[in-house]
Structure formats: structure tokens, C-alpha cells
Amino acid sequence: GIQVEQSPPDLILQEGANSTLRCNFSDSVNNLQWFHQNPWGQLINLFYIPSGTKQNGRLSATTVATERYSLLYISSSQTTDSGVYFCAVMDTGRRALTFGSGTRLQVQP
Amino acid sequence: DAGVTQSPTHLIKTRGQQVTLRCSPKSGHDTVSWYQQALGQGPQFIFQYYEEEERQRGNFPDRFSGHQFPNYSSELNVNALLLGDSALYLCASSRSRTEAFFGQGTRLTVV
């Protein structure tokens, strides 16, 4: 099945810093989503981005489907950005999401 | 719109017992998928229901079964519970292959 790799696995930032999270995938996809998992386990939808670029406030994402990667940018980070960020993809032969192992972000005041 | 709702939020069961988890999808969604998330890992796909039938299944044993009702809500059943079944169980709803939305999860502890 499709492989999804996220990097870095862990990231510690000072409040106000910017960061880039990366997601590489091994096959063609027709769906790619970024999620933020809060401390209570809820997966919060950030972006539905099978291709192209989207922005939502301090967050933006870019997916280059032909090169099989996606990037999540967080600018001016806040302590509330802390948590685990997951990339999940749906390859063309399946109907389920395959998740990466996540990037654990800690933003310190 | 209440979004995806799951019940219960927490559950403690004994090895060998059976458990049923429930999920109500987001309004307008017809597809429900279940995922298991072990501590420190990403969610793993269990199975997906559409039109009251299991449409796709991940690498989980037959002890894991499910059901979808005419109102699109769904249940996940796990028989003969093992300690290794302790995890966060997440339900997601969508319309076909479009954006999936997740519930808050059910945290199952098997003792």
C-alpha cells in the first residue's frame, strides 16, 4: 500500500517562530488532508488539498502531486498550535485515508 | 450542524468481553469509516461503510465488525477483547472520496 512519511517527527519552537512540516507519499493520490490532533484526541481539519496551495490565517499548505509531497506552513506560531500534525492521503485505488506517523509540535512561550 | 459524534467517550472493559462503539455522521454524509489509533501512532483504517455495506477493510481480524443503519449512523463491534485493543477509536464521515471529518473518538481501555 501507499507509504506516507512525515518530517520532522518532533519540533520545538519559540512563540512567534515559523515552521514547515513535510509529507512525502509514495503513489498518486486523489485526496490529501492535514489535521491537527489536540490533547484530547480530536482530529481538527486544517486543509483538504489534493493539489495546489491554500491559506487559512497563519496556516498555509501546498501539495505538489506530481512530485508526491505536501508542505504545511505555520507562521507566527502560538502556544495553542502545540499538538500533533498529521498528513493523510487517499490513493487512487482505495477509499480510506492512510496516515503518516505525525509531527509533534511544541511551541514554548 | 453537530458534526461527527461518537459515544461513549471513554470505556473500560475486561479481556474477553465484547464492546460496541457508536458514530453519527455529519449531516449530508453517507460514508462512515472507522480507525484505530494506538498511543503515539497515526490512525489505522479498520473498515468503511456505505449504503449499509462494508465497502473496504483494513488489516484487522474478524473480531472487528460493524454495521451501518439506514440513517447512515454506524456501530463498531469488537469481540473477545485483548489488551492490545486498548486504543482511541475514531469515526470519520464523508461524501464518497471527498473531505473526511472525524469525531472526538472513544478511548477504550482493556484490563
Give the pLDDT score at A50: 94
Residues of chain B with pLDDT under 50: none
A77-81: average pLDDT: 96
Give the pLDDT score at B96: 76
Does any CB of chain B come closer than 8 Å to the CB of residue A14? no
Contact, A12 vs A106, CB < 8 A?
Answer: yes
Pick from B33, B99, B104: CB nearest A41: B104
A40-57: average pLDDT: 96
Give the pLDDT score at A36: 98
Average pLDDT over all residues of chain B = 96
What is the Cα–Cα distance from B20 to B97, expressed in whole angstroms?
Answer: 26
Q: In chain A, what residues touch B105 (CB-CB under 8 Å)?
A: 41-42
What is the Cα–Cα distance from B3 to B78, expressed in whole angstroms?
Answer: 24
Give the pLDDT score at A11: 97
Q: Among candidates A76, A82, A84, which has minimal Cα distance to A36?
A: A84
When pLDDT is cut at 50, 70 and 90, the band that residue A95 belongs to is: confident
Contact, A84 vs A104, CB < 8 A?
Answer: yes
Give the pLDDT score at B1: 67
- Cell 477509499 locates to A95
Give the pLDDT score at A93: 78
Give the pLDDT score at B83: 98
Question: Among all residues of chain B, which has the CA nearest to that of A45?
Answer: B101
A56-83: average pLDDT: 97
When pLDDT is cut at 50, 70 and 90, the band that residue A85 belongs to is: very high
Give the pLDDT score at A91: 84
| Three-state secondary-structure class, residue A105 | strand
Q: Nearest C-alpha of chain B: how many angstroms from A77?
A: 23
